[in-house]
Amino acid sequence: MTATIFDKYLEVPPIFKRDRDILRPSYIPEKLLHRDEQINQIASILAPSLRGERPSNILIFGKTGTGKTATAKYLSKEITKAAGSDLAEFKNVSFIYINCEIVDTQYGVLQNIGNRFIEEFDDRIPPTGWSTERVYNSLYKWIERKHLITIPLSGIEDSIDNLNSGIVDDELISTITSNCTKINKSIPVKIDKDNYTVHKLDEDGRIIEYPEGVLELLYNNKEIKIYTKAKRIVLVVLDEIDRFIYKSGDDTLYRLTKINDELENAKLCIIGISNDMKFTELLDPRVRSRLSDEKLVFPPYDAEQLKDILTQRADLAFEEGVISPNVIPLCAAVEANEQGDARRALDLLRVAAEIAERNRDEKVTEQHVYKAKNKIELDCVIEAVRTLPMQSKLILLGILMNEEIGQSKLTTGDVYATYKELCRKTGLSMVTQRRVTDLISELDMMGIISARVKSLGRAGRTKEIVSSVPLLETKTVLLRDPMMQDLGDYKLKHQTTLM
């Protein structure tokens, strides 16, 4: 067998016994720990949907990593499980999850909902190209029509040939009516070859109303589909709903909250998830009143709760004995002291294990946890710096370049002078000193720099500015920007003020 660079890593006994995705937030365990109260609350609100009644809309608030999305997906699994039962009411509930950080346009949200009810590919709403009005009308049409049963026409090929010749024979009638008894008693029918519609007949062979519960009967050469008037309840989860509102406004929410006034055979309920409790202030009062039927707030997890969650996942993910006793309590304590964020706690444990695995260590220790913490924090800083606006990047680079030559404490004037020098070098347009002061404050709020106000006595006050991020790593990220690549070897000419 040919040797590869991976061989030395594959020789080490694995730390993970199952998929490491168990330690990612996307994994939903069989039991969601320490969210029984919230799960039961939401379940009690959604319970009417299983009786064919429209439940109240729900808004769920809470910080990142408090179990909001996990709870919604857990309830989706429970509803799917209920749909597999023999109770017909459960089968009429549809659960749709949309992440508005990914699908953040009116068109995209309506298309995602509508396509859940369209089986034929040719009928589906395309990703682009339609007016929003047309997408909404298609959604309305398909959400109103409930597919109950498909009757395969295989095995009765002679009847199909007869049908294509305009002849409806007894075998075809028998096939249809025997299947229709699953909805109602045996139904005399007539098939209209031209528009593929099956009609109910009276004793004299005249077309009459469809039987109770049947909305439409359609056929093609492969199958007959029966649509019913049974009430359909659609539960739509809009995760990160605030991002959708900030980008696309509330027109779509107005349509979706008002659609129940028009639907006859279906009802729609919205479950919004957000970590911004103030986003509702941006909504039209009519939308706000319809959307905010019920509100729930998810509290952060404490250290003991995080410890239980990590233990539950660790038992599933790791081989026995590879986690040192103090690792899980340490991961839980670190995140409980910061935000009570279960996502970050799981990431911390997973990254610690991956570091141990790469080092070919047999156990995950506290030392691995501290290394993982530094790595995760650095990854967060790199992403924050990478996505800064260009003017903020220039300001930050100027601060770092001053620190490189020993000027570690800068005034706002120093930063502005360096910023102007870098603008001239790159050819970028300058903003005013007041705007630079605002951008410095934004960088301070993000934790990328520290801008402490210092009194200079009779000379007034100024900000003492220092960076709060690793110099070399951050500078490397900034210089990856094509607009700033020429500054890699540049030496500052400006002399800073001595403080």
**DSSP states along 427-461:** TPPP--HHHHHHHHHHHHHTTSEEEEEEE-GGG-E
Tokens for 25, please give them: 């937030």
Domain of 445: which CATH number? 1.10.10.10
Greater confidence, 145 or 260? Answer: 260
Q: What string of DSSP letters covers 71-99? A: HHHHHHHHHHHHHTSS-HHHHTEEEEEEE
Is 411 a member of any domain?
A: yes
Beta strand spans in 141-249 (E): 146-152, 189-192, 197-201, 207-208, 214-219, 223-228, 232-239
Residue 100's φ and ψ, nearest 5 degrees, are: -75, -5
Average pLDDT over residues 422-434: 88
Asked if residue 293 and residue 305 are part of one domain, the reply reads no
Q: What is the pTM assigned to this prediction?
A: 0.69
Average pLDDT over residues 464-478: 87
Asked if residue 273 and residue 356 are part of one domain, the reply reads no
Average pLDDT over residues 208-214: 58
Is 379 a member of any domain?
A: yes
Quote the percentage of the chain above a pLDDT of 70. 79
pLDDT number for residue 186: 46
Quote the percentage of the chain above a pLDDT of 90. 34
Is 13 a member of any domain?
A: yes
Average pLDDT over residues 356-360: 87
Asked if residue 173 and residue 161 are part of one domain, the reply reads yes
Is 204 a member of any domain?
A: yes
pLDDT of residue 433 exceeding 70: yes
pLDDT of residue 201 exceeding 90: no
pLDDT number for residue 96: 94
For 140-198, how does the pLDDT look when each residue is reduced to its tens digit (9 = 90+)? Answer: 988 887 665 666 766 666 766 665 555 556 776 666 666 555 444 445 556 555 555 65
Asked if residue 397 and residue 274 are part of one domain, the reply reads no
Interatomic CA distance for residues 125 and 55, integer angstroms: 27
Asked if residue 330 and residue 187 are part of one domain, the reply reads no
Evaluate whether 34 touches 309 at the Cβ level (below 8 Å). yes
Domain of 88: which CATH number? 3.40.50.300
230: confidence class by pLDDT, cuts 50, 70, 90: low
Token pair 């009143």: residue = 289
Average pLDDT over residues 96-122: 90
Q: Write down which residue in 330, 364, 383 finishes a domain.
A: 383
Number of domains making up the chain: 4
Asked if residue 346 and residue 413 are part of one domain, the reply reads no
Asked if residue 397 and residue 276 are part of one domain, the reply reads no
Average pLDDT over residues 233-241: 93
pLDDT number for residue 93: 85
Is 27 a member of any domain?
A: no
Is 287 a member of any domain?
A: yes
pLDDT number for residue 159: 66
Average pLDDT over residues 428-444: 89
Greater confidence, 281 or 41? Answer: 41
Burial class of residue 127 in the structure, from the number of CB atoms within 10 Å of its CB (0-12 exposed, 13-18 middle, 19+ buried): exposed
Q: Write down which residue in 344, 361, 383 finishes a domain.
A: 383
Is 26 a member of any domain?
A: no
Highest-scoring range by mean pLDDT, 28-32, 204-208, 442-446: 28-32
pLDDT number for residue 185: 44
pLDDT of residue 305 exceeding 90: yes
Asked if residue 395 and residue 438 are part of one domain, the reply reads yes
What residues pair up with 96 in beta bridges, in sequence order?
Answer: 236
Residue 17's φ and ψ, nearest 5 degrees, are: -95, -20
Asked if residue 308 and residue 292 are part of one domain, the reply reads no
pLDDT of residue 352 exceeding 90: yes
Average pLDDT over residues 1-27: 80
Asked if residue 241 and residue 177 are part of one domain, the reply reads no
Greater confidence, 224 or 101? Answer: 101
CA Rg value for the chain: 31
Is 190 a member of any domain?
A: yes
388: confidence class by pLDDT, cuts 50, 70, 90: confident
Interatomic CA distance for residues 181 and 214, integer angstroms: 12
Residue 360's domain comprises 7-17+301-383
289: confidence class by pLDDT, cuts 50, 70, 90: confident
Spell out a b/e string for 30-65, using b for 16 or more CB atoms within 10 Å of the CB, else e: eebbbbeebbebbeebbeebbeeebbebbbbbbeeb
Burial class of residue 215 in the structure, from the number of CB atoms within 10 Å of its CB (0-12 exposed, 13-18 middle, 19+ buried): middle
Asked if residue 179 and residue 43 are part of one domain, the reply reads no
Give the end-to-end CA distance of the chain in Å, rounded to a whole number. 66
Q: Write down which residue in 298, 318, 350 finishes a domain.
A: 298
Domain of 339: which CATH number? 1.10.8.60
Greater confidence, 114 or 154? Answer: 114
* Poorest-pLDDT segment among 124-128, 206-210, 309-313, 353-357: 206-210
Helix, strand, coil % in the chain, rounded to nearest 5: 50, 15, 35
Name the average pLDDT for the chain: 82
Highest-scoring range by mean pLDDT, 119-128, 200-209, 302-311: 302-311
Burial class of residue 132 in the structure, from the number of CB atoms within 10 Å of its CB (0-12 exposed, 13-18 middle, 19+ buried): middle
For 50-71, how does the pLDDT look when each residue is reduced to its tens digit (9 = 90+)? Answer: 877 889 999 999 988 999 999 9
Asked if residue 57 and residue 162 are part of one domain, the reply reads no
